[in-house]
Each structure stands twice: as structure tokens, then as C-alpha cells.
Structure 1
Amino acid sequence: MLVFSFHHGLQAQVRSGYVDLTYAAERSVNAVTYIKTEFVQKNSLWDDFFSGSFWEEFFGSAPSMYPLQAAGSGVIVSPDGYILTNNHVVEDAVKVTITLYDKREYPGTVVGTDPKSDLALIKIEETNLPYLEFANSDSVRLGEWVLAVGNPLSLHTTVTAGIISAKARQLSSYRGKNSEESYLQTDAAINPGNSGGALVNTQGKLVGINSAIASGDGYFTGYSFAIPSNIAKKVYMDLKQYGKMQKAYLGLSMIEINAEVAKEYNLSEVKGIYVADVDEKGAAMQNGLQEGDVILSIEQHPVNSFAEVLGVLNTKSPGEIVSVTYMRDGEKKTRKITLLNENGTTDVITK
């Protein structure tokens, strides 16, 4: 039996009580590529220590560079050969080779990279390629079915299924640094080689670029993360046009509000983001935000975490105007703020 369920204008097929994912799988596998990279590794400290010693009399000098290879996945996002992947897939690569679903191979040119979002754009010289359309990742809901498509563990063109487990996730606890990302979390299996591959919805549209797993040994343990498509689309457009991400900033330091913070700063609700400091040359101060304000929403998106703030800002460009709603002295206010770049201007930053 075949029935159709409609939700928010999206059509999903359900056969005999389960969601039919065949359309999404068949549509997406053609637009996901295998990426092989080559790079060079300098001698280790061990090699440096023994260079010039009597070992060289017997074995000769070790080469100063070692050729190495790595692999990942990519997503074709335009018919003329633009491919999105993770920055860590192509970082420091001296050669990039793209293999399509039909086994055709092409040399790839890295157009630009954005380490902060862990995204990179590659170009191959070809036309009329199958590609994936960007979905609106803001519309993705918890529990929604998704497919992860990539090349894990050298198993080319593998499709796994799962649901959206969480939105606006940060990985600072896993990466040991301040996170600049706002991830979608899924339980679709992702392993080494999936990096840069596609996370698609039941319509076969791109909702994210698979990027990371939470694991002690580097293999799937039930938690995977993808860069939302709205952020990926912004990075794609910027790298294509400018070769560099045009990142927008509010110019302030924030504190996530919990019960302890609310008590310390005498806040009436455990809600929003507390403004701890404002940059004198930043967008926030220039447009009237002050230390002690509590930001409730940006562009009508409620914000209660750094990741939720970044999830909005990382889709914006310097010069864009955003609506910020905040509390000050018990009164709710809204201001229009013109976002600035890292230099405090709206100028385009090039390579």
C-alpha cells in the first residue's frame, strides 16, 4: 500500500507503515563524489634526531618529505562542476582528484576554503552534471528522516539513514576549542571517508554537509554532525564569488544564561544570551547594544546558546541589517543592526 503524508508543503512517501527513502537515495548518490587528495608530510622529529648520525652510513639519508594520500566525499552543488566538501578533506593538499558516481575522474581545483566553518569549494571542468539543491535547514525538524551519503572506509557511494537528533549543536567539548559552528546532529552512521558528503531529506535535497562524529576512536558511535545547508550555501556563494568567506559579526562577548548566571546578574528569566562586553568598533555598540543587555532573538530566531547565535550570523554578510530583540532594565526592545566584518567595516575581504 502506498500513501502520501503532507507536512509543511513537503510530500513524503510511506509504504506499509515505513517512510520510503528510495527516491532520496537514488537522487542523491549521483551528486556525491569521491575525493582523493595527495599531500606531503615533513620528516618527523624522530627522523630529524637521527639525521646526520651513523645510521645514514648504513641506510642513507631519509627523504625530507613523504607523499601521503587521504580520501573523503564531496557534493556537487551546480551543474557546471562546483563541489562542496570539508576543509579538513583538502587542507594542505597538493593534488585533488574527483571521482564521480559513474567512475569518471577529474582533477579538482580548490577555489577557496573556510577553516572556521570547515568547508571548502572545489571546481572540476565539466557541464550538465547531476547536483543537489539546497534545502532550507532552518525548516528541518527534530525527528525528521535524513540520509547520509558518502564514501566511508573506502566503501564508495554508501547511504545510511537516521533522524535529526538535535539542532544548533556545538562541538567545543569534543574538539577542545571554541566552536565557530552550529551543527545538525543525526544518528545516521558516518565514518571516516564520509567527511564532506551529503545529508539529505526525504525529497533528496541537501540539508547539511557531513563533517564530524563524536567518538573516542574516530568511528561511528551513534552521534554524527553536519553543517546546516543554509550556512553551507552562504559559504559556497562567498567562495565562488570572492574566494573567501564574508563573515558577519555583532562585535560582542556573550554568556549563555543558566540558573547560576541568572542569579549572578539578577536576571528574571533563564532565557536568552547575556551581553558581557561590546567592542567599541563593533556593530553592537555602533547600533546601541550595551553590556548587560539580554538578547532574546535575532531575525525572529530565538537564541539561547552560542550555536543558535552563530546559526543565524553565519548565514549573513557584512552590511546586512538584522533585527535584534533584547531585554534592558526589564523592558523588551528591538533594534536594527548593520553587521560588520572582522575589521569593523562592510568592505569585501579577499584572499
Structure 2
Amino acid sequence: MAEVNVNLDAHSYTIHITTGGISRVGELMSKLSLGNKILIVTDDNVCPLYAATLSGSLVAAGFKPTVLAVTPGESSKSLTTANTVFTEAIASGLDRKSAIIALGGGVVGDLAGFVAASYLRGVPFIQVPTTLLAQVDSSVGGKTAVNHELGKNLIGAFYQPRMVAIDPQVLDTLNDRELKAGLAEVVKYGVIADSDFFTYLQDNASALLARDPVVLTHVIGKCCQIKANIVAQDERESSLRMILNFGHTIGHAIEAEGGYSEYNHGEGVAIGMHAAALISQHAGLCEQSQVTALKKLLNRLDLPLTAPGYHPKELVRYLVRDKKVLNGKVNWVLMSQIGHVEITHEITEDTIAAVLEQVT
């Protein structure tokens, strides 16, 4: 077992990374002084694969789990679905020591975390991520949210889990498209924080696509460590943590314009990273060679660079409603070189328009 500690004083917790780890969740949770009633929130895809194993682990440790499966996909990140989860929590008699477990990908994690942050003004929350994207990114750091029809993740809270249990073995049941979506977030970590890690990804792109277990486990641990270090310095995204949004501003706009169905989150982020790199180059912050290196790696991982047929003016509508907008200006996370980014709001509308034309 590998462990990564997220150091946040009273809100500190451990990320446990181990093959077969779902069968150990009950044992790990028994050390957290929780109540015995547990609500597992999952979706209809993951439930038949792993809910029984997780429930069995909890029962063996003395817990009494209830399982609620929601519809898979971004549409479940809504206040309507959240209310369904609240109702189940109330009906199941969850109290303030009862934990809510997210068993699934980023949608389930965000939804269950939002409910955990709100139910009885906050109950313990456990992340058991089953997609690569959730394992390397969304399960760590305490961002929880649901979407609004006018934008993504606009209704939410910072609410740290008590524990994250990552089982790389579950990626064996992940489809290729979702695996690649997670790899987009993996690439992000190399760009924002570690050029050596970026080089490792270049050298191991084929192994990642082939699901080499050693390479995947190393990558998961590395991404978790990078994110843990950033979150420990800036839990509530007041400064440094904003760099984790590299590629997400335009990426979220593309997701929303496609009705959260044409491009998934990782694909949106890949296009968004390409756009952010182009904006960086237009603004004189980085060299063409850096943009080329990013594009080549995204291509090797079979991730999209553009969203053909989308209209720049439509995407701009989402940019101005992005949660990273302050005083009417977007805080752009831009690349100065692989391994280092900076935050600026001094980007002209002409530059943004020109880049949006390039990626649509």
C-alpha cells in the first residue's frame, strides 16, 4: 500500500493507494470513529461491479451500509439528484457521525460530497474513486459541487473527505474513452508543476494507454502527491490552488455548450489546455516549442485538441460566468514553460477570440 497525506491541520487525511483496496475500505474506516450507518452513493454502471464488495467490507467491519445508485453522467450533478440523496440519507436514519461514501467517478464524488457537506450541516465523507480522472484529481482536495443550467460547478462547497481509498485495479473495467479522459488531468499535473513528470508521461504514453499497472499506479501516486502539496498550501483556492484549473476555463465552456454529452470532462480539459497554451503563446508567455510538446503528448494519448463546429461567441457566454471570474475578468492559468504556469487576468478579448477560432 502507498499512502499520500493531505496536511490540512484538523482536516488532514490520508489517500490510500492499493490494489484490491475496495475490499479494505471497511477496515480503514473502522479507525475513523464513525457511526455504524453508512450511505454508499454510486451510479448504475459502477453499482453492479463494486457495490457488493464495498458493502461486504463495511459489514465485516461492523457497519450497516445502504446503497443508492443514481443515473450515470453529468446530468446527475444537479440539485434534483442531490435532493434524492438527501431523502435517502434521512430515510436511512443517518446521523452526524454517519458517513457518506462516494463510489464512482467525478460526478458521483462531487454529488455525494456536496450532500455530505450539507446534510445535518456536514457529515463524514469518504471517497472511493473508480475512474482514473477521479483517482488523480477530483477525489482529492475537497471540492464538491452540482451544476446549474447556466454553468458548471456553480453550487458547491469546499469539504474535505475523511479518507480516500484508491484501488488501481478497478481501472480494468474502465472504458478506453474514460481512461483517456483521466489522462488529460494527468498531463495537466506535468504542465503545472513538474517537467520531469511530463517527460515521464512522454516516455510512457504507450504504456498508459495499454494500462500497464506499474505505470498507472506510479502516475496515480504522483498526481495525488502534487495535488496534496498544492491543496495543503491553499485549501480554498485563494491563490496557488488556482493553477489546478489549467485548461478548465475553456474546457468547462466546451462541456456546457455540448450539453455535457458531446465532450466529457477530460476531453474538454484537453481542448482547454491546448487553448490555454495558445493563449500563452499569443501573450508572449511561452515559446512555440512548449505548445508543440503539449500538443504532441495530447495527440499520443488520443485526446482532442479542437472542438470542430463550435462557435467562439457561444463559448464566450460561458467564460464570463465561470466561477474563476473576479471583478468581471477571467483569471487565466497560462503556461510559461512545461512545469510552470502563472495566473493573469491581463488577456485581451482579441487574443481570446483568436484562440477560440483556432480550437473550434
Structure having the larger proportion of residues in strand: 1
* TM-score with structure 2 setting the length: 0.27
Structure with max Cα Rg: 1
Which structure has more relative contact order (CA 8 Å, sep 6+)? It is: 2
Identify, as 1 or 2, the structure richer in helix.
2
How high is the TM-score relative to the length of structure 1? 0.28
